[in-house]
């Protein structure tokens, strides 16, 4: 897969021919409390239940996350945002930019998940993201 190269600030990002920006977003209502929800986004054991198997997770912005991809290989991601009790974002070639955000709705909470990936395999990437969302929904019910 060709990797686009970005140098410096770009007002407009051009998507290479044959690629598309895939965005998958879902908001899931739940009866879980904020701490329970946040653990699903921030603890390696919890994330591994619904996303990729996490080997190490450094929650500091810009730090490395090591996970096992679908082929069983150790792969790196980067923590791009970590707001205690509210949001976690990570970035990797294989899943693009993932953000999980906890939203307060009256006396309850919802979990908003967003996947954004520049890909030449939209069906494959969409199916993988939807599978993760389905497993997450099972944990939230």
Model confidence pLDDT, tens digit, residues 6-26: 555 556 667 788 999 999 999
| pLDDT computed for residue 16 by the predictor | 82
Structural domain includes residue 121: yes
| 3-class SS of residue 67 | strand
- Cα 32 from chain centroid (whole Å): 20
User: What is the domain count for the chain?
Assistant: 1
The predicted pLDDT at position 116 comes to: 96
What number of other Cβ atoms are within 10 A of residue 113's Cβ? 21
Residues of the chain with pLDDT under 70: 1-13
Residue 6, domain member (yes or no): no
3-state SS assignment for residue 44: helix
Domain holding 53: CATH number? 3.30.530.20
pLDDT the model gives residue 1: 46
* 100 located within any domain: yes
DSSP bridge partners of 116 = 23, 97
Three-state DSSP at 80 gives strand
The pLDDT assigned to 59 comes to: 87
């Amino acid at each position: 897969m060709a990797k686009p190269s970005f140098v410096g600030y770009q007002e407009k990002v051009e998507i290479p021919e044959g690629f598309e920006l895939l965005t998958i977003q879902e908001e899931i209502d739940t009866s879980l409390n904020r701490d329970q929800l946040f653990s699903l986004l921030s603890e390696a054991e919890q994330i591994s239940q619904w996303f990729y198997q996490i080997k190490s997770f450094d929650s500091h912005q810009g730090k490395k996350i090591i996970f096992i991809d679908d082929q069983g290989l150790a792969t790196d991601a980067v923590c791009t945002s970590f707001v205690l009790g509210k949001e976690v974002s990570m970035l990797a070639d294989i899943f693009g930019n993932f953000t999980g955000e906890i939203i307060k709705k009256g006396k309850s909470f919802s979990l908003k998940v967003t996947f954004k990936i520049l890909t030449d395999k939209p069906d494959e990437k969409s199916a993988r993201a939807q599978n993760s969302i389905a497993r997450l929904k099972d944990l939230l019910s």
